[in-house]
């Protein structure tokens, strides 16, 4: 996995700040859509969005935690797009038709708010 070093979103650089982590969730924290005149409804929508983000990250973590380890101790290669396509029932878009076999968790039982779930997620 090639992770590029991100630009620190702070006007100063403090070595105790993990800039890579901050940049990955910086928009959620630093670009809060609560402007002057915002009401409780606006705040409620923002909190619902945060709750959905938490669910998404929890389910992404479930996917990675449930990876089946190869006999040689390595992790199987996969593209997360295949996980989402399987979840959505978009089986024709799968690069790896056996994507479900790579995990100990059932992809169709996960919850990704904002992403349509397959009505009949049958195994290929």
Domain segments of the chain as ranges: 39-124
Asked if 107 and 87 count as a contact pair (C-beta separation under 8 A), the reply is yes
Q: Which residues have CB under 8 Å from 45's CB, separation 6+?
A: none
* pLDDT value for 107: 96
* pLDDT value for 50: 86
* pLDDT value for 108: 93
Asked if 59 and 110 count as a contact pair (C-beta separation under 8 A), the reply is yes
**What single DSSP character describes residue 114?**
T
Query: What is the C-alpha separation between 24 and 37, in angstroms, rounded?
Result: 28
> pLDDT of the chain along its 124 residues, tens only?
444 444 444 444 555 655 565 566 666 666 777 778 888 998 898 889 889 989 999 999 999 999 999 999 999 999 999 999 999 999 999 999 999 999 999 999 999 998 999 975 555 4
Q: Residue 23: is it exposed, middle or buried by C-beta count within 10 angstroms (0-12/13-18/19+)?
A: middle
* pLDDT value for 19: 58
Q: Hey, is 14 helix, strand or coil?
A: coil
């Amino acid at each position: 996995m090639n992770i590029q070093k991100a630009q620190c979103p702070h006007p100063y650089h403090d070595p105790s700040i993990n800039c890579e982590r901050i940049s990955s969730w910086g928009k959620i924290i630093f670009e809060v859509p609560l402007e002057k005149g915002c009401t409780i409804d606006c705040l409620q929508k923002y909190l619902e969005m945060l709750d959905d983000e938490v669910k998404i990250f929890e389910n992404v973590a479930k996917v990675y935690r449930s990876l089946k380890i190869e006999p040689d101790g390595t992790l199987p290669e996969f593209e997360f797009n295949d996980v989402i396509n399987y979840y959505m029932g978009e089986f024709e878009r799968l690069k790896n038709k056996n994507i479900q076999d790579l995990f100990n968790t059932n992809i169709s039982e996960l919850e990704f708010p904002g992403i349509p779930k397959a009505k009949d997620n049958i195994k290929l």
